[in-house]
Amino acid sequence: MATSLDRIPSTPARPGRTGTGPPRRVPLPVLLAVLGAALPLSLVCGAGLGASGLSWGEVLRYLGAGLSGGAIAPDEVSAYTIVWELRLPRTLLAAVVGAGLSAIGVAVQAMVRNALADPFVLGISSGAAVGANAVLIFGAFGALGIWALSTAAFLSALLAMVLVYLVARTERGLTPLRLVLTGTALYYGFSAVTTFMVFAAERGEAARSAMMWLLGSLSGANWDSLPLVTAVVCAGLGHLAWSARGLNALAMGDETAAALGVDPGRLRKRLFVVSAAVTGAVVAVSGAIGFVGLMVPHAVRMLVGADHRKLLAVAPLAGAVLLVWVDILSRLVLAPAELPVGVLTAVIGVPCFLLLMRRGSYSFGGI
């Protein structure tokens, strides 16, 4: 028997579209094949490109040795360490973070029905920044060693999530407007605390590290930090894919969603928890990397339409490829110095977003 969810249109209505005709769509299998091939190629490039000049033959040999447990000559240990212990985990983390931010961006834009929403609109990232800066500037959680930064950031992100939920909830549940207003207000509040901490820092290097983290950086990536954030992101992606039909209904408005058999309050509450958990886990290991969760969903929506089943299949791959290459650029532009990843995502994202706004055939998903 068909359920009400089965009758949800695959592409939510998008009123207000202007232009002479619908935008061109790229067939989903073609797009998935291109991105599926681009991602492993990008990962190899991420392991091979950097300030230290290594030939591609050496890079591929070191990657093969790392995967198979092969032997490395004593004079090659330094180069092998650069490829296997420094560049590869960093590149894999960039892919995981890009996938997570892009998918959560899709979900948050539907959840709050706001085209300007991204994973950070809920105030989670600024909450995480308070915990991270407490470690970087004041040495909090020092007993945890290398886990101090990510643990403090994740715990403060969870506390921010609880605070946003308690303030934003009403008798009718979580409404889009209250979520956005509460998240924005707490974002500025947490940012003020973070700024005060930076100015209160006695050591200039500590303040510099804090600013680097606030702008997004993958320089702290290692093999130990990958499993947990990867598991959280994969679990979040799986839940969002399972909720894709509900997201289609939610994007059309609460009344329409309710008429189609979707409880908007219950779905929004579940999406809020998933979005906050994934955002907290990602921010804890990479800092606040902006524009990925805002730009990628719109770019993908322009290619495949507004059906969340397609969006959530393509956006994580697109975000992963994008952030891998942005991280590569962050290492090369001022080599041997390094740019914060968030600076480059903004430099790339702003003009792309403005060009997207100029396209008369795109209506930002009708949000």
Q: Poorest-confidence range of 4-8, 152-156, 190-194, 197-201?
A: 4-8
Residue 194 buriedness (CB in 10 A; 0-12 / 13-18 / 19+): buried
| 300: three-class secondary structure by DSSP | helix
Q: How confident is the model at residue 16 (pLDDT cuts 50, 70, 90)?
A: very low
Q: Is residue 204 within a helix (H) or strand (E), and if so which, with residue range?
A: helix 204-214
Close Cβ partners of 320 (under 8 Å, ≥ 6 residues apart):
39, 42, 94, 95, 96, 98, 99, 102
pLDDT in tens, 241-285: 999 999 999 888 888 888 888 888 889 889 988 988 898 889 888
**Of residues 335 and 284, more confidently modeled:** 284
Share of the chain above pLDDT 70, in %: 89
Residue 243's φ and ψ, nearest 5 degrees, are: -95, 10
Close Cβ partners of 13 (under 8 Å, ≥ 6 residues apart):
252, 366
Q: How many residues does the chain have?
A: 367
Contact assessment for residue 320 and residue 95, using Cβ atoms and an 8 Å cutoff:
yes
Q: How confident is the model at residue 315 (pLDDT cuts 50, 70, 90)?
A: very high
pLDDT in tens, 70-125: 778 888 888 899 999 999 999 999 999 999 999 999 999 888 887 778 888 888 88
pLDDT in tens, 218-230: 888 889 889 989 9
Whole-model pTM: value is: 0.87
Q: Is residue 148 within a helix (H) or strand (E), and if so which, with residue range?
A: helix 148-168
Contact assessment for residue 322 and residue 293, using Cβ atoms and an 8 Å cutoff:
no
**pLDDT at residue number 359:** 66
Residue 173's φ and ψ, nearest 5 degrees, are: 95, -155
Instruction: Give the Cα separation of 217 and 54 in Å (integer).
Output: 23
Q: Sign of the C-alpha dihedral, residues 347, 353, 356, 357?
A: negative
Q: Poorest-confidence range of 79-88, 198-207, 296-305?
A: 198-207
Which residues pair with residue 170 across a beta bridge?
A: 173
Q: Nearest to residue 319, comparing CAs of 35, 98, 45, 92? A: 98
Domains in the chain and their CATH numbers? Answer: 25-48+58-63+74-358 (1.10.3470.10)
**Of residues 214 and 173, more confidently modeled:** 214
- Torsion angle defined by CA atoms of residues 8, 105, 88 and 46, in that order, rounded to the nearest 10 degrees: 100
Q: How far does CA 110 lie from the centroid of its chain?
A: 16
DSSP class of residue 340 equals -
**pLDDT at residue number 320:** 97
280-297 burial by CB neighbour count: b if 16+ within 10 A, else e? bbbbbbbbbbbbbbbbbb
| The two three-digit tokens of residue 174, written as one number | 């979580």
